[in-house]
Chain A
Amino acid sequence: MQGVLLGGQYALLACGLSLIFGVMRIVNLAHGVLAVLAAYLTLVLVQQGLPLWLATVVVVPLFAALGYAVQRGLFNPALAQVGRDPADGPRGAGELAPLLVSFGVAVALTNLLQEVFSADTRTIPTGGLASAGLPVGSLSVGVLPLLTLAVAASVIATVQLLLARTSTGRAMRAVADDAGAAAMTGVDPRHMYAVATALAFATLGLAGVFVGMSTQFSPGYGELVLLFAFEAVIIGGLGSLWGTLAGGMVLGLAQTIGAQTDPQSGVLAGHLVFLAVLVVRPGGLMPRSVQE
């Protein structure tokens, strides 16, 4: 039970990573530290006296805007450099440049956060929400993890619905299929990539808030966040959003069960499951792309 709830958090974190990969085939290494940035931003806003919900409402659109800017300003030029200008078609020339750019962002941002906030661990005050529990039979289930799971599921459902049902979502899938052909139908691939990243960053901002509420975080915490999110994505199958939710659950379960046997080995158990999935099913448990 606890594992499934923990999985909710991982899934929420991984959603944006999965979306960016699904649409653009970019692995965003700055994903983790950006989540931590969202947590810090929320923390600052809450310390300024804003209620938590309002801080979240501010941070999420801010992150969407940041996502749009990062894509237009950093990732699109990087894609163009490896001959994958979204405006002209066939891709696969190389994934390294955008990967390196995101790595640079991750390193720089981690250090910047350290400068500004020091390396001390913090947590977003939740006014008792983090420790509240709901009695379910003989068990007591944490309200916050339950909320996280519900939010994760609804975020993934919303994004999935958006991709499947709206014309923007359709265009996004078309761009993922063949950016050049999408341009021929009138879609600006550079803009559509940026919209996808904005959406991913919005979910990432939200995930950051939840991470900040449930754990002690520091600037370096981003690495762990990235690792877990990445594992959730891989276990679930790259680019598949429902797979990502499942992947988060599997990872959460593995870590919780591992921690039952030995408190120190929870994270290790998660990594081992990740490795096992990679060996047995390299495509992930639900190997589909975002399009499905």
Chain B
Amino acid sequence: MNVLDVTGLEVRYGDLTAVDGVSLSVAEGETLAVLGANGAGKSTLLAALAGTHLPTSGSVLLDGEPVTRVPAHRRVRRGIALVPEGRRVFGSLTVEENLLMGRWPKRPGPWDLRAVYEMFPLVAEMRDRRGGVLSGGQQQAVAIGRALLANPRVLLLDEVSLGLAPTVVAQLYDAVRRITASGTTALVVEQDLDQALRVADRVQCLLGGRTVLEAPAAGLDRDTVADAYFGITHPPPKWNATRPEERWTGSTPACRECCSAGSTPCWPAACR
């Protein structure tokens, strides 16, 4: 049975329909990457899954049980843990206290403080520092650790790469890879296609709140996607790249190209 089953989800912000009838499912042990440009509805989708912003229609099933209208704090106890966009580490709490907050739901499972410290040795060294003084990458590691300590049925990761240096992002995704490889079911929202493809089993691409592509990650190679379907030999360079080899890697995700207005219309068939 699927851990997460989402059907016809619609989420609005006032008049704006941010997520417009998205369906998805995540099987036990699987990692699904949801890709798309800014405003494609990725974060809103996660907010609806985590219960921080309730959908107007559609349903969310966790292990077959409906949780569509369950508020966020109860949903964590049921097993949906979110690593929020912007990390949202508690600034005045120490690193260890931040992590212990993850233990609040008291769900049994493999993740305890020691396991998290083993996963993120740098975080272990910082355990007595306040969350507010950490670097972005350290905060992201703490946020991931905090969510893991809830021993979730499904881990939701929102834009882990946001505002972080490429090397830091790569390290964090190394950890995410180890986490998902150990059997944790995960849903990753990401703009950085390279990193997403490293951890995902399947990819789902959103445009304007709708699903425009679903494909297994194994067959998807960013350059192939870009070259074959959009006639782009190289994605645009990274705005702050200094070394030439950096300029062409891990920059604009192909899917964003795929989904951005004005380029070749993106249909599932066109992306495959």
Does B202 touch A at the CB level, under 8 Å? no
Across the interface, which residues of B come within 8 angstroms of A177, CB to CB? 90-93
Q: A88 with B73: in contact, given A181-B90, A184-B82, A185-B101 (CB under 8 Å)? A: no
Contact A186 B93 (CB under 8 A): no
Across the interface, which residues of B come within 8 angstroms of A184, CB to CB? 50, 52, 72-73, 76, 81-82, 84, 88
- Indicate with 1 or 0, residue by residue over A75-113, a CB within 8 angstroms of chain B CB atoms: 000000000000111000000000000000000000000
Contact A173 B93 (CB under 8 A): yes
Contact B72 A87 (CB under 8 A): yes
Number of chain B interface residues as a range: 20 to 34
User: Least Cβ distance of B81 to chain A in Å?
Assistant: 8
Complex alpha-carbon distance, A239 and B26, angstroms: 45
Complex alpha-carbon distance, A189 and B90, angstroms: 14
Does B77 touch A at the CB level, under 8 Å? yes
Contact A186 B52 (CB under 8 A): no
Residue in A187, A188, A291, A292 whose CB lies within 8 Å of B101: A187
Q: A291 with B72: in contact, given A170-B101, A178-B88, A187-B104 (CB under 8 Å)? A: no
Complex alpha-carbon distance, A170 and B92, angstroms: 10
Across the interface, which residues of B come within 8 angstroms of A88, CB to CB? 52-53
Across the interface, which residues of A come within 8 angstroms of B92, CB to CB? 173, 176-177, 289, 291-292
Complex alpha-carbon distance, A178 and B91, angstroms: 9
Complex alpha-carbon distance, A176 and B101, angstroms: 13
- A161-203 at interface with B (beta carbon < 8 Å): 167, 170-171, 173-174, 176-178, 180-189
Contact B102 A183 (CB under 8 A): no
Contact A181 B84 (CB under 8 A): yes
Contact B71 A87 (CB under 8 A): yes
For A189, the closest partner residue in chain B by CB is B73
Contact A89 B52 (CB under 8 A): yes
Complex alpha-carbon distance, A181 and B101, angstroms: 10
Q: Which of A89, A185, A291 has the most CB of B within 10 A?
A: A185
Residue in A173, A186, A188 whose CB lies within 8 Å of B90: A173
Complex alpha-carbon distance, A50 and B71, angstroms: 45
Residue in B53, B71, B150 whose CB lies within 8 Å of A185: B150
Across the interface, which residues of B come within 8 angstroms of A188, CB to CB? 71, 73-74
Q: A186 with B100: in contact, given A88-B52, A174-B93, A177-B93 (CB under 8 Å)? A: no
Across the interface, which residues of B come within 8 angstroms of A182, CB to CB? 73, 90, 101
Number of interface residues of A (CB under 8 A): 24
Does B105 touch A at the CB level, under 8 Å? yes
User: Least Cβ distance of A50 to chain B in Å?
Assistant: 40
Complex alpha-carbon distance, A7 and B143, angstroms: 42
Does B63 touch A at the CB level, under 8 Å? no
Across the interface, which residues of A come within 8 angstroms of B76, CB to CB? 184-186
Across the interface, which residues of A come within 8 angstroms of B100, CB to CB? 167, 170
Does B146 touch A at the CB level, under 8 Å? yes
User: Least Cβ distance of A77 to chain B in Å?
Assistant: 16
User: Least Cβ distance of B140 to chain A in Å?
Assistant: 14
For A180, the closest partner residue in chain B by CB is B52
Complex alpha-carbon distance, A276 and B91, angstroms: 31
Contact B88 A170 (CB under 8 A): no
- A237-292 at interface with B (beta carbon < 8 Å): 289, 291-292
Contact B104 A183 (CB under 8 A): no
Complex alpha-carbon distance, A10 and B163, angstroms: 47
Q: Which of A89, A177, A180, A187 has the most CB of B within 10 A?
A: A177
User: Least Cβ distance of A101 to chain B in Å?
Assistant: 23
User: Least Cβ distance of A268 to chain B in Å?
Assistant: 37
Does B223 touch A at the CB level, under 8 Å? no
Does B97 touch A at the CB level, under 8 Å? yes
- B193-229 at interface with A (beta carbon < 8 Å): none
Contact B84 A186 (CB under 8 A): no
For A176, the closest partner residue in chain B by CB is B92
- B18-73 at interface with A (beta carbon < 8 Å): 50, 52-53, 71-73
Complex alpha-carbon distance, A89 and B82, angstroms: 14
User: Least Cβ distance of A152 to chain B in Å?
Assistant: 25
Across the interface, which residues of B come within 8 angstroms of A170, CB to CB? 93, 97, 100-101
Using CB atoms and an 8 Å cutoff, list the residues of chain A in contact with chain B.
87-89, 167, 170-171, 173-174, 176-178, 180-189, 289, 291-292
Q: Given contacts A173-B97, A183-B71, A186-B77, could you give 19 more A-B pairs where the C-beta distance is less than 8 Å?
A: A88-B52, A170-B93, A173-B92, A173-B93, A174-B90, A174-B93, A177-B90, A177-B92, A178-B90, A180-B52, A182-B101, A183-B52, A183-B73, A184-B76, A184-B81, A184-B82, A184-B88, A187-B73, A187-B104
3 shortest interchain CB distances as A-B pairs: A291-B92, A181-B88, A186-B76
**Residue contacts A-B, CB under 8 angstroms, 25 given:** A87-B72, A87-B73, A88-B52, A88-B53, A89-B52, A171-B104, A173-B97, A174-B101, A176-B92, A177-B90, A177-B91, A177-B93, A178-B88, A182-B101, A184-B52, A184-B76, A184-B82, A184-B88, A185-B76, A186-B74, A186-B76, A186-B104, A187-B73, A291-B93, A292-B92
